[in-house]
Chain A
């Protein structure tokens, strides 16, 4: 499922990132935040009064915020966090 559909506070890991859906600089920033295939993620908060705001999620030990269009480019898988070889 996409990161946008991940229920809050359910540990998951990144399955696939559609880098082509992101601009080069946004892609670089996400990578610098530690987002990569295999990274552990957990959605923590949905922002915005009407729920259409950004998503705050935990990536490794960091908390990062991103808009839904970025989160939609990230496919995640729940289940036991298979300790990433990454």
Chain B
């Protein structure tokens, strides 16, 4: 790749590695994958004080060089120079948490013993001070035999010091790595770490630990649970109420862009293609960016504050009842954003059957790609009125859809555990990190990366699917008196699907949207938008109505509700299926997943439709 010197950040989970990485590299980051494994490679660039560029790679956090998961394996292999697609680092920055020295120094000693040029970043010194710990970096440095620099990711001074140290290190001798670390004895390292930690701690004032005080409330068996539910509820309300203004603004831009196309281009096929296939279709998806960012904002905040592990703790007893590990809660919660990283995150689950069950139910968590679909239908069919103080009906319906996904997942896990993934349940072992205020910079970088990923999807997979759909839906041209969306090739394919889904209340519009939305769920929205745009043709009145208004005229409430119920379960996402195949090493489990989820989707949509019709909503 690049010929730049490579420095690896390595350390225990919760040592504040990512915050340090963000502080050093800022927005100059690149996310990728290591070849052959699905472990994310996070790299970035920064300059030394003399302007020399350096490549920094943030390795997955691990407790030792004795890996128990593929992520930890990558960390070990990179450091030993055995990882395919990565050169041996020129130097290591070992990140240790200043308030957890005993534990983190053991791993630091293991790393120093490898013989690569090493600097220890004594991180989160501010939190240690808060806990009444006073440390002497000089003693630590003397005992460890490598430079030790006190850092707090938000303060510049420590970072400058770290840069200077790396500079002199890179000017020194090149690194060699010892072939093996197997002869290091765990107990010996632990004792040595303990001795050094004691020497380096110059004062320890018993202070009221903030984390313990907060945990008394947040981990309380009753209060903690109520708070968790309230937090999730606020999150889903916010997705609707906060996003309204920016989404309206973006919708305005999309409309303006469409008008510009109409003004510039003469009527004809190019005009129709751009207006209906590109602006109409992709635009319909892009306006959901604010909602997706709000959702990610909450998830990033929960992770950065340390609350996520508490949520897993609170949920473990319930997860155990359906045969899952409490650890499964974290991949499942990430799946609310997207099932792909969620399924990848199951690698922290040691037990293979626990892990497989978690993978199989992860797509039931309501991912952000469903938001455009839910958002469109809810805004069009559910009145925006209040059903209580601070509780909007639209937000409530969205919350219920999330609950339906969770309940569905729990029932599915329970059933799977009794049948295909039968066996002894694994355990739940987890570190509870200290609480800390998230650094605004970290949250902004996280949101920025998510926005880029979403817009890339809109510009590639969604755009391509939409272009194909536009062509299929535009030709052959319907004779006068026939609807274009029925006469075209796409319309005829939809006719075939329609036969299958008519019993569950799906109309032809939905039948037409189902096939392209196999690529990604949001495509359902852009597909419907495109088809309506084609049908509207040059009819100004029709063009001026929003997508939601057009839906109101064409769908019954029962159909809309059935459509929502379908999307709670249906496995319509190529990326999820692909990552499941990769993570389970074959087609057996992804095929099983597709089968059981479609069956559930069909049943759920059908039950919803028939019930709604019986209640007179048809």
Contact = CB atoms under 8 A, between A and B. Distances in A.
Contacts of B211: 63
A29 B68 contact: yes
B431 A60 contact: no
A36 to B, nearest CB: 7
B589 interface: no
Contacts of B326: 54, 65, 67
Given A34-B102, A63-B432, A66-B428, A44 B212 contact: yes
A65 B317 contact: no
A47 B64 contact: no
Interface stretch (B219-227, B267-275, B485-493, B572-580): B219-227
B427 A65 contact: no
Interface of B is mostly: helix
A25 B314 CA distance: 23
Interface string B285-324: 0000000000000000000000001001110111010000
A42 B320 CA distance: 24
Contact of B187 (A25, A36, A50): A36
B394 interface: no
B103 A61 contact: yes
Given A45-B219, A48-B221, A65-B309, A53 B317 contact: yes
Nearest to A46: B221
Nearest to B99: A61
B215 A48 contact: no
Contact residue range for chain B? 35 or more
Contact of A49 (B66, B312, B317): B317
A40 B523 CA distance: 55
A28 B212 contact: no
A47 B223 CA distance: 12
A34 B431 CA distance: 11
Interface in A17-31: 23, 25-26, 28-31
B483 interface: no
Interface string B419-449: 0000000011111101000000000000000
B550 interface: no
A5 to B, nearest CB: 18
B427 A66 contact: yes
Contacts of A62: 100, 103, 431
Contacts of B317: 47-50, 52-54
A8 B102 CA distance: 24
B219 A60 contact: no
Nearest to B212: A44
A81 B194 CA distance: 16
B221 A61 contact: no
A49 B222 contact: yes
A13 B68 CA distance: 27
Contacts of B64: 28, 32
A51 interface: yes
A8 B395 CA distance: 40
Contacts of B87: none
A65 B430 contact: yes
A70 B318 CA distance: 18
B194 to A, nearest CB: 7
A18 B226 CA distance: 36
A32 B316 CA distance: 21
B152 to A, nearest CB: 18
B330 to A, nearest CB: 12
Nearest to A61: B100
Contact of B431 (A28, A48, A64): A64
A69 B427 CA distance: 8
B176 to A, nearest CB: 27
Given A32-B63, A44-B215, A53-B317, A61 B102 contact: yes
Contacts of B225: 49
Contacts of B103: 32-34, 60-62
B212 A47 contact: no
Interface string A59-83: 0111111110110000000000000
Nearest to A85: B191
A28 B68 contact: yes
Nearest to A34: B103
Contact of A54 (B187, B216, B428): B428
Given A54-B326, A62-B103, A86-B194, A49 B427 contact: no
Contacts of B99: 61
A69 B190 CA distance: 25
B242 interface: no
A56 interface: yes
A60 B193 CA distance: 13
Interface of A: 23, 25-26, 28-34, 36, 44-54, 56, 60-67, 69-70, 86
9 contacts: A28-B64, A29-B350, A31-B186, A33-B63, A34-B103, A47-B219, A47-B316, A60-B103, A65-B432
Given A54-B313, A54-B316, A61-B101, 5 more contacts: A49-B317, A53-B221, A61-B100, A65-B432, A86-B191
